[in-house]
Amino acid sequence: MSSRRSSRSRQSGSSRISDDQISDLVSKLQHLIPELRRRRSDKVSASKVLQETCNYIRNLHREVDDLSDRLSELLASTDDNSAEAAIIRSLLNY
Amino acid sequence: MASADKLINTDVPEKDVFALHFLRSLSNLRTQNPLNSPDKSIDRVRKIKKAAYVSMARAAGGNSRLWSRALLRRAAKDDNKSVRFSRRKRKVTWKISSKRRRSNQRAPVVEEAAERLRNLVPGGGGMETSKLMEETAHYIKCLSMQVKVMQCLVDGLSQK
């Protein structure tokens, strides 16, 4: 199977991630989440960022669900609403 | 990975990489089971959803990221549900035991939120908090790429 991944976690004392890098990651996450991107101030706490991240991920999962649903319907439909749609369907073997 | 200056990379491939993987995956869905036409819509949806996640994981780098590796393993496990002996053997996972993981604890309120995040990000359960955040950033970027690709496809199919 695949090799063990880096043993950073085992050497808990010697190879800590610095707090700087943590806050860098937090701000990276903050930047990615639409909700928090508007509030450009650094007043957003790390736990708030993580919380919003959870919500954002759940929303994205839900979107994937919805889009899968719609795709399934659209691919199976036989309405010839446009040439483009027909082409896409035939490319995908439907 | 050097311990002194860890490079935290959260770059994701371009959208067309995701599109290519997804389209390929979708077209394979139909050619895989020629005798077994999935007439039930719920099966179709489930297969499309799975294709979306698997192709996203592959586009994102397959085994080179922790979350995509975990996702692909999970998907492969689902496919091999009929394999019975896997229960007897103790599988070797590369999850860190929670005891070891706790040695890098942050503030408790952060850890609480991180715990919820662990349940959402594939493979999160074995990750130390800072690694979890890095993987999360990458995961979010890939998820939103995948959503964009699927939206484009839906738009293309709904054109009048």
Chain A interface includes B23 (CB < 8 A): yes
Residue B53 clears pLDDT 60, i.e. is over it:
yes
pLDDT for A13-47, tens place per residue?
434 567 777 788 888 888 888 877 776 666 778 88
Helix A19-32, helix A46-76: angle, nearest 10: 40
Residue B22 clears pLDDT 90, i.e. is over it:
yes
Q: Cβ of B41 and A32 within 8 Å?
A: no
- What's the pLDDT at B96? 53
Give chain A positions within 8 Å (CB) of B140.
Answer: 29, 32-33, 53, 56-57, 60
pLDDT for B23-50, tens place per residue?
999 988 887 765 556 567 888 899 999 9
Decide: pTM greater than 0.90: no
Give the CA count within 13 Å in the CB-facing half-sphere of B144: 12
Joined together, the tokens standing for residue B155 give 């738009």
- What's the pLDDT at B33? 65
What average pLDDT does range B114-137 have in this prediction?
90
CB interface of B with A, residues 36-55, below 8 Å: 41, 44-45, 48-49, 52-53
Residue pairs between chains A and B whose CB atoms are closer than 8 Å: 156
Distances from the Cα of A47 to the Cα of A21, A42, A51, A76, angstroms: 16, 13, 6, 44
